[in-house]
Amino acid sequence: MRSSEAPLHVLFVCRQNRRRSATAERIFAKHPELDVRSAGTDDDALVAVNGRMLDWADVIFTMDDDQKRSLEARFPGNVAVADVICLDIPDRYLFLEPELVRLLEERASPHIERMLAAGR
Q: Name the helix (H) or strand (E) containing 91.
A: none
In single-letter form, the type of residue at position 111 comes to H
What pLDDT, on the 0 to 100 scale, is given for residue 1? Answer: 43
Angle at 41 between CA 38 and CA 43, to 5 degrees: 115
Whole-angstrom Cα distance, residue 108 to residue 21?
12
Give mean pLDDT, residues 81-91.
97
Question: In 10 A of CB 74, how many CB atoms?
Answer: 15
Contact 49, 39 (CB under 8 A): yes
The CATH number that domain 8-117 falls under is 3.40.50.2300
Q: Which residues contact 98 (CB under 8 A, 6 or more apart)?
A: none
Quote the pTM value: 0.94
Could you tell me the residue ranges of all domains in the chain?
8-117
How far is C-alpha 23 from the chain's CA centre?
Answer: 10
| Whether residue 120 has pLDDT greater than 90 | no
Give mean pLDDT, residues 44-59.
97
